[in-house]
Structure 1
Amino acid sequence: ETGSKPTNANDYLSELSGLIISQTRNANKDNTKKDIYFKDIFKGEYISKLLEIPEALEELKKHMPEGYQSKEDIIDVINSRALNPNLKALDMSLPAHLNFVLASLNLTPQEGEVNDAMEYIVDALEKKYTKEENN
């Protein structure tokens, strides 16, 4: 860890996307590129850092059931074994539904083939928030 905390969601997104992509790429001993999966992103350590940003916590709370909206509740869901099959199903459907996901995130639909849908989404989100931050 660098010792400095991101000051806003845009800083955090950039840091998180870099961390996720570099860790998944470096997971192989031969340092070849490895696909990124939802299970790589939905880890307690990443979500814990995300929950340090008040805006992110408030956004995540909106998607949690009534009475289960604390930081601890969110971490419990992320760490639950029941989440893994759902994440795997999302991973499998993502390439076929990439443009729907992009539209849902207010991102421009892609044209042509994408090798790694998750990396494409992470990169597109990072570009979007970097652009918004600079405006």
Structure 2
Amino acid sequence: MRRFLPINCEALIQSRVAELLAGERDAELVYHRRLRRPLDSYQRNVPPHVRAARQLCQWYRDQGLPAPLQQGDTITYVMSVNGPEAAEIQTSAIDYQHYIDKQLRPVADSILPFVGLQFDDLTRPQLPLF
């Protein structure tokens, strides 16, 4: 029979959120997605990685260089406060709330109900009493 070491879920989640908000995990926030179709074929529903790829291609064209991406290539991007941005040319601040809501919260919410905790209670800033 296998034994699991007890972990302090509350401290772990609070430390991860604090590290994220302090910018200590920025290198881990980069998404990697493959372009399955040519960029021009995305017309109706344009996913974030395609928006970032178009932005990167436009930046290369503005520099007088050929566009670096085509079908089958992988784009690296981050979610910024201004939407998805190619990691190579990111200029806006990272949207940490996006990563909390889309990456940390779903994992925590799958575990916390079993130990009687809620994600919002652990991550909400404490209000001063006076």
TM > 0.5: no
Give the greater-gyration-radius structure (CA): 2
Larger RCO, structure (CA 8 Å, separation 6 or more): 1
Give the TM-score of the pair, scaled to structure 1.
Answer: 0.29
- Structure with greater proportional helix content: 1
- Structure with greater proportional strand content: 2
Give the TM-score of the pair, scaled to structure 2.
Answer: 0.29
